[in-house]
Amino acid sequence: MTKVMLYDGSCNLCHHGVQFILENEQDTDIHFASLEGSIGQSFKNSHPELNSLDAVLILNTETSVIHSGSQAVIEISRHLKSPWHLIQLIRFVPLPIRQAVYREVAKSRYRIFGQTESCILPNQETRLRFLDIGQ
């Protein structure tokens, strides 16, 4: 396992994002855990500076580098098949602009996409990649 995507487990946009990754990935390097689950809570406890972030984080378990916001989107896109891997080209957009866009989407995600009370139920093939339930 090299990357862990921590996502908002009650966010429909995040759920669809996880499903999109699973359907369009070129490798299986990304594992998943909800921010509300035991792994997400443990991560937030060990990184209190990130407690205010509630959307998507990527943790590289080999380097301990944490990416959030638009940088997390870029990191995720590096693992997607063509043409979706081209999303990483947003790295050429100035950071303040792409972070502002990301924050606006994150801030209004419940209003636009709604919330859910239940988590994603992965199929048998992907179950082990969901760290809170795959063990």
Q: What is the pLDDT of residues 70-109, one digit of tens each?
A: 999 999 999 999 999 999 999 999 999 999 999 999 899 9
Higher pLDDT, 4 or 135: 4
What average pLDDT does this structure show over 50-57? 71
Residue 42: what are its φ and ψ, rounded to 5°? -60, -40
> Is residue 47 over pLDDT 60?
yes
Residue 118, in any domain of the structure: yes
The domain total for the chain is: 1
Q: Higher confidence at residue 93 or residue 52?
A: 93
Asked if residue 51 lies in contact with residue 6, where contact means CB atoms within 8 angstroms, the answer is no
User: If you average pLDDT over residues 50-58, what whole number do you get?
Assistant: 72
Q: What is the rounded average pLDDT for all residues in the chain?
A: 86
Range of the domain at 104: 3-129
- Would you say residue 122 lies in a domain? yes
